[in-house]
Structure 1
């Protein structure tokens, strides 16, 4: 293992990653329950040097600020890894430094002590961290007793009295107070059954049907990973396990919803183990698969055709993929803010250095007995038995598993409150497990906006750009095929209707985005972007050269730097399109307009660190100017073929030349308008 050990003043071993070293997380061979236990330990150990003197806080490396106070940030550092540790201990495992967490909890709730956590105020971040603490109290043998009488009283006050009369955000947060009370209840502590019941009853108003809950009340449409693995489904399943004897009907209902949702959620994970990044908080990384471990923990009977071998395969393949992402760690071995590498541009204003450890939800599988079929089954791949294309009415998605990656087409979703990069996290047309979405690292020119899978509009000559954020949408079935239709207005007097069509068996690497645009009140420039792709050539990681058919790498047309955009070689007719090929695969875009022509194809050299997965990317893009009063139809074909096991680089552009067919019904729709 190529790492360097350091020593803290207390003699606790630390981890220092250098130029040619790999994190122990990447070196665990995953197959069994014990190997997943070993994987968790590689995440816990690097935290040890960063405990406070009395162990009540962990100050993870990184001095970035968040919207809440520093103490709450360091409580996150202690509480979030507790998800994994609690599952490990609940499943019969043991960890050498578990007593540090017990001591830390005892000191943190001691209102007279030097490291008191402080009482929760209205809408306080401390409320979130009460959830893993409540869960740990409910499941970890001996934890309550280990706190001692004074520690127990402190926990009763901090979890119960400290939060039950406070205001909370009208979101999944209400589940956190449920678990605070549940943890006390399971140990005979003082808690509020009235508050617990009222919170669950209100959370029921988030339910929309088909197994799906909104992350909030009526009037919003936000169904991201908080609806499944990060919070709502996950915590419903834990609750059904822990409170099922007292509330069998409610537990049965939660399990039933999970069974229904499982047949939708299976479409979010591809054969390589990657999940589709969508929405906020994707920096929680492998927490994306916690739903599947929770199914096993809650003893849910799987709906056909799913098997425990398929569920196990989803979880372990996902963890293995993250093991290949060596850049997710700091030099000290702790998780960083970001996705496939440290990235503050995609971070939310609530992401502290300790926030990424919500990823430890994934280790709920360690609380599942080793005799459970989740562990005893051989890994299986669900894709031969589930449909390649599936519409999901509740989240407003069309799911696809054609062309070497999982992809979702999306319309209508939006975060209910201001969110950095919200148009990219919810308003893009397509999200891929292979290519990830891009966020703007700046707000000046296309290079900074990085409009991957978005249609941008500018009324000032290309300095500032507006994209789809809020839209009304409907999921239609036309000639037996799903179509997403949305209406949106980048400017009040520019009206857009967008049709999203998934790939087909005949053209598995293509999907269609069709836009009817009415520029009623102003002239606008447009930029229609494909997926973003790694912009590094294989020999030396320099930017891609013009496409070389022998090397099977490069771009068409020529990729130009940010300051030479008037170079003729950088542009091509839109019907000929633009593409980029690198070791990550190939992406491209082409105009399929039947009558009018006017768009041009080029490569946008996106600003570094705009994409979640690759720090250097380029975006094949079609550009145009629509005069005031004009109406246009844009018919755009988007090409995507990722690299993968068994995919030869010579095949990256195999489907590019033919392109997809524009269906007859769409041609007729265009003629009508």
Structure 2
């Protein structure tokens, strides 16, 4: 979009990214100019090209309108209403036209808001419409005639009168109600929606700044761009100091860990659903600065914000005509969910929340600093969500080890193969999981009657400063075996760029094959040919940006690389390193240990020689090359919690 070119880089103010506030404004203008070419004549729907979502094209058109209206709101509200391209005028006209006759099948009418599962998607979009109106009321809402205001209100109230999904969706009515109250149209119905949403939020809070996304243990990017953003932004805009005092410290604690989850190259962690929202991941970082509850210095805040934006712009997230594609870098079907439609990626608009900070704010005027991931090597255990963060300053790469996050309601049955975006042992900022149809990366599986097990519900078990442990019940495909008395306990310990992975099988018949995989690497078929023929004990996959290594320490008998033809979000074709063994009858033969590594350093040292393991019963003693030892003790009972002891040289 040549009419909105990016300014020249400023490497004095922004030595790491070159981006300033002007780059954010120009990018917003570019995105808005591109999407508005697809608006209907009355501006009420934006029908972007691409495959429809399960909600249908009418809902998708509303989604395109609502999510880009939010972008226009951040852009103009942050500029004190300055709107040189006339974006808000078009959205205001669309508001009036879309709510004139909701539910009709004409060219412009918006779909009505229904219950979740029954025309529920418009409820999601109502929150973006309401928040955008709240931010831009002097130039949009106040410009509407009274009759149009009444019709917009009536459409929005559909969100208060229908049942949301049992998760962050309850914050959409809260957001709608917050706008209506700010516009002088509050009542018992709006107060009830706000109180209900805040009450549920309290029940979802798990500690360390993390909320579960409803019932169960779904921890992912929704913590930042939904569960923190909607209620805290509402409190900020309403000037509700009591609510700010209640929720603000949680955001600060959340950012202590979450800020580590951005690579030196700007990438957010590739974990959880809705990843096509991309740089929306920085919304919580910007929110911390806006509300004054952040542990980050202003220069570090902008480093994270601009790093993520530039990361995706530089890697092809936009199509040739300036549209955000459905995927990660370019289009990638396996990254998507059934609810993803052409307008879905525009929740990336949340990443522009930082534009609400005025130009003179230190976030925009301070010199960029290093990102937290560029500092010393870190291993940060977060027992509340069951996540272990591992960073290495030499390459700026981030890994997230998962011992507690899964997408399943408490009463919902476990079904194989599970969701690759939750079920894996580890995720990173430079690799993505293989698809459910391919061999899973970072996985532990039993093989029974020719079927391999899945890891679905992940139960936290124990934790230490640099390690986490969990257990799961192996689940087989629908026509496979059911083994209710079987479980696998898994422990990950982070040490520099190394990962000690120890697994214990419980109740598994002797002779059962067991498989453990490491980090998948996107490779070209030519580069993969050499990796597939290697005969060394250590598996090593060297890709263009990362090297994956896997070495069996105890219990593993064979190793190989396995093809993943559907690839990952980082490439169309990938290989997965895999170890195979058999469960034995003695206690020591029910324990398996391996050393894994993912690094961005081109000359990664071999794993062989960096550690050895001895197993005595259910106790694993790992001796490290520098002379220290790590003892992992699973105890002597099924329900005994594992312990880890670090012994000096």
- Range of TM-score over shorter length: 0.7 to 0.9
Q: How do 1:29-68 residues align onto structure 2 when only pairs under 5 Å count? A: 30-66=18-54, 68=55
Does residue 373 in structure 1 map to residue 367 in structure 2? no
Residues 518 and 209 of structure 1: CA distance in aligned 2, closer, same or farther (over 3 Å): closer
Counterpart contact for 2:52–2:60, Cα < 8 Å: no
Q: Pick from 208, 211, 228 the counterpart of residue 209 of structure 2.
A: 211
Counterpart Cα distance in 2 of 1:672 and 1:197: 48
Counterpart contact for 2:198–2:231, Cα < 8 Å: no
Deviation per CA, 1:485-540, whole angstroms, max 9, x where unpaired?
32433352573433333332xxx23202111124635864433111111212xxxx
- Following superposition, the deviation at residue 190 of structure 1 comes to 5.3
Task: Flag structure 2 segments of 5+ consecutive residues without an equivalent.
Answer: 11-17, 476-481, 614-620, 623-628, 638-649
Counterpart Cα distance in 1 of 2:561 and 2:454: 19
Which deviates more, 185-194 or 408-417? Answer: 185-194
Counterpart contact for 2:7–2:23, Cα < 8 Å: no
TM-score by structure 1 length?
A: 0.82
Deviation per CA, 1:374-419, whole angstroms, max 9, x where unpaired?
1111111134667711111211111111263111111122112589
The residue that corresponds to 1:498 in the other structure is 489
Q: Pick from 513, 523, 526 the counterpart of residue 535 of structure 1.
A: 523
- Following superposition, the deviation at residue 543 of structure 1 comes to 4.0
Counterpart Cα distance in 1 of 2:131 and 2:630: 52
Secondary structure at the residue paired with 1:604? strand
The residue that corresponds to 2:403 in the other structure is 411
Counterpart Cα distance in 1 of 2:248 and 2:85: 35
Deviation per CA, 1:585-609, whole angstroms, max 9, x where unpaired?
211211001xx5x521111111224
Q: Pick from 440, 449, 468 the counterpart of residue 483 of structure 1.
A: 468
Secondary structure at the residue paired with 2:564? coil
Counterpart Cα distance in 2 of 1:587 and 1:91: 43
Counterpart contact for 2:39–2:45, Cα < 8 Å: yes
The residue that corresponds to 1:468 in the other structure is 455
Counterpart Cα distance in 2 of 1:406 and 1:393: 18
Q: Pick from 303, 308, 311 the counterpart of residue 298 of structure 2.
A: 308
Secondary structure at the residue paired with 2:471? strand
Q: How do 1:247-266 residues align onto structure 2 when only pairs under 5 Å count? A: 247-266=240-259
Aligned residues between the structures: 591
Task: Flag structure 1 segments of 5+ consecutive residues without an equivalent.
Answer: 4-12, 14-22, 443-447, 547-554, 559-569
Residues 201 and 427 of structure 1: CA distance in aligned 2, closer, same or farther (over 3 Å): same
Counterpart contact for 1:600–1:623, Cα < 8 Å: yes
The residue that corresponds to 2:598 in the other structure is 640
Counterpart Cα distance in 1 of 2:486 and 2:538: 25
Which deviates more, 382-391 or 131-140? Answer: 382-391
Counterpart contact for 2:446–2:474, Cα < 8 Å: no
- Following superposition, the deviation at residue 666 of structure 1 comes to 6.4
Deviation per CA, 1:431-464, whole angstroms, max 9, x where unpaired?
1112222222x3xxxxx2x311112333243xx4
The residue that corresponds to 2:633 in the other structure is 669
Does residue 614 in structure 1 map to residue 601 in structure 2? no
Does residue 654 in structure 1 map to residue 601 in structure 2? no
- Following superposition, the deviation at residue 312 of structure 1 comes to 1.1
The residue that corresponds to 2:274 in the other structure is 281
Counterpart Cα distance in 1 of 2:171 and 2:634: 47
Counterpart contact for 2:268–2:308, Cα < 8 Å: yes
Counterpart Cα distance in 1 of 2:83 and 2:128: 18
The residue that corresponds to 2:146 in the other structure is 149
Secondary structure at the residue paired with 1:196? helix
Q: Pick from 302, 324, 331 the counterpart of residue 314 of structure 2.
A: 324
Secondary structure at the residue paired with 1:485? strand
The residue that corresponds to 1:520 in the other structure is 508
Counterpart Cα distance in 1 of 2:298 and 2:548: 35
Counterpart contact for 2:498–2:596, Cα < 8 Å: yes
Counterpart Cα distance in 2 of 1:466 and 1:370: 54
- Following superposition, the deviation at residue 60 of structure 1 comes to 1.3
- Following superposition, the deviation at residue 174 of structure 1 comes to 1.1
Which deviates more, 182-191 or 124-133? Answer: 182-191
Secondary structure at the residue paired with 1:513? strand
Counterpart Cα distance in 2 of 1:422 and 1:351: 19
Counterpart contact for 1:214–1:221, Cα < 8 Å: yes
Counterpart Cα distance in 1 of 2:429 and 2:562: 21
Q: Pick from 117, 122, 130 the counterpart of residue 115 of structure 2.
A: 122
The residue that corresponds to 1:400 in the other structure is 390
Residues 330 and 629 of structure 1: CA distance in aligned 2, closer, same or farther (over 3 Å): farther
Q: Pick from 229, 232, 236 the counterpart of residue 234 of structure 1.
A: 229
Counterpart Cα distance in 2 of 1:355 and 1:270: 24
Counterpart contact for 1:223–1:413, Cα < 8 Å: yes
The residue that corresponds to 1:389 in the other structure is 379
The residue that corresponds to 1:591 in the other structure is 552
Residues 363 and 657 of structure 1: CA distance in aligned 2, closer, same or farther (over 3 Å): same
Does residue 138 in structure 1 map to residue 122 in structure 2? no
The residue that corresponds to 2:478 in the other structure is none
